[in-house]
Amino acid sequence: MEKDFREVVQSWLDGNFDEQTKDQIRQLRESDPAGLEDAFYRNLEFGTGGLRGVMGVGTNRMNKYTVGMATQGLANYMKANCTGELSVCISFDSRNNSEAFAKITADVLAANGIKVFIFDILHPIALMSYSVRTKKATAGIMITASHNPKEYNGYKVFWSDGAQVISPVDKDIVAEVNKITDPSMVKFVPGEDAASIEYMSHEMDDAYLNAVSSLMLSPEARERHKDIKIVYTPIHGSGVHIVPEFLGRLGFEKIYHVPEQDVVDGNFPTVMSPNPEEPGALAMAVEVADREGADIVMATDPDADRLGIAVRDNDGKMVLLNGNQTASILTYYILRRWSELGKLDSTKYVVKTIVTTELIRAIAEKYGVKVFNVLTGFKFIADVVKKNEGKGEFICGGEESYGFNVGEFVRDKDAPISCAMVAECAAWAAEQGKTLYQLLQDIYAEFGYYKESLTSLVRKGKAGVEEIAQIMSDYRANPPKEMAGSPVVKVVDYNKPEETGLPKSNVLQFFNEAGDVVSVRPSGTEPKIKFYFGAKGSDADAKIEVLRSQFVK
């Protein structure tokens, strides 16, 4: 039985914790009893993105103790289950405390006799994944909360293939972490016999850029259209150095910045949320684009794994594309160029998630390329790549939540390569006298009009967790009989792996006779439940709104 949270609180007040932490606990107990309960009622767990939570005191918060305990648990797991010289690559983004958490992580690992490779400054997820593979490390850790609000931070664990850990390794790591019940069990300070800590710098950047540059497909188009105007913003995050350098290496000469957002700042002062899925996050970049007459806006989140873009429509107005549209454009461009270059055969494949547009499947089928459909989370895309090593070649893959990757050098979402491919695709389209927006319209004309939308309901705290669980329970007990006036013909419950052929996951999908689909999924990393809507046909926009009104109350 789990301890009452008040017992856990008292154990922190009585235990080997610093006085500042104890003072904060006392203040919470006096001024915010509900907040105190939320901070201690459970331990942070590895979800779809690893360890992630609000920063602060408590077992359900990101702080030096929970980071240290997680790292000790990881170290114990590695020492018990991994052979050879153990090593870990560490990176961090721009969030408050990210660098400090990274250094605590490095010290704990080194104190446990595990060699550490750590970046000297903030770096994106892609460089972390690439470094794990290059260094042949046992594991990797990225300190980030991705696109979450400024109050959050997190701890993503990667394995030796450069991908985030999946079952059963993630659960086994959690089991080891749960055995660490007191900070006295953590080796926070390296001793004389500690393993070394080595800093990674420009050499790893150069190796990464040289590797992923080999994936580019249209050098002549880039040369002829090197004057395409691009506005790029890292939204105060870790893409600030690598993305402009990558675009410059590819020959693009008109790269415009948003100076205020080039400032590395975990408070993200210029945006409500550092999430490129949110229009407000791109607003300042769009202003720069209008002032400079730019063709494309690109924005990456703090750990530079997600990419949001804006392009000019037929009236010259900047319009935002969603993750499905960007992934569809890139998939079409890459497959078409691979076909033209004679690189396609039956061993090549693409991967998408179950909630990502079916337009990608339609494009792949035209080019005779196999499509794998996986659970939400890029780690499942990476797992397909791992399982097909030596049997097939991964071309590209993506998910609706603004994540995309090309090639096998990196095993996670890679916004730098996505930025490069968007720029090159724009140059290739310009060769044909078209913009990216016009290319998207051509894709719709050829494959049909697809419309997708996402609505999230945020439900914070313990009560929110319970409410989200009840919503899923109600849908399982009483699935809808019709959607948008069309009878429901299929219900897929991903809690039943024997039926789906995929790992168990708390996701429901409803399909109607008209071909519309609604997916309902609690987030694994945030206090929200997500509703994904998909429709096809000339009336798809109208059907999306009908579906939304039916499901989101």
Residues annotated as catalytic are 146
Which residues is 199 bridged to in the sheet?
118
H-only helix segments in 257-412: 283-292, 323-340, 359-366, 378-387
Element (H, E) at 40: helix 33-40
CA–CA dist 394, 96 (Å, integer): 36
The H or E element that residue 490 is part of is strand 486-493
**CA 156 from chain center: how many Å?**
10
Q: Where are the beta strands (DSSP E) in 237-295?
A: 254-257
Rg (CA), the chain: 23
CA atoms lying within 13 Å on the CB side of residue 6: 3
Q: Hey, what are 98's tokens?
A: 């990210």
User: How far is the C-alpha of 243 from the C-alpha of 299, rounded, in Å?
Assistant: 10
Strand partners, 51: 155
Q: Measure the CA–CA gap between 328 and 436, rounded to whole angstroms.
A: 11
Calculate the dihedral angle through the C-alpha atoms of 506, 177, 146, 381, rounding to the nearest 10 degrees.
-50
DSSP 281: G
Q: How far apart are CA 328 and CA 112, in angstroms?
A: 45
297 vs 229: CA distance, rounded Å: 9
Q: Is the four-CA dihedral 163, 169, 171, 176 of positive or negative sign?
A: negative
Judging by DSSP bridges, how do beta strands 318-321 and 307-312 pair with one another?
antiparallel
113 sits in the region (left: phi over 0; alpha: psi -120 to 50; else beta) called left
Round to the nearest angstrom and report the end-to-end CA distance of the chain: 35
**Can you name the residues that pair with 351 across neighbouring β-strands?**
372, 397
Q: What are phi and psi of 89, to 5 degrees?
A: -100, 140
Beta bridge partners of 493: 508
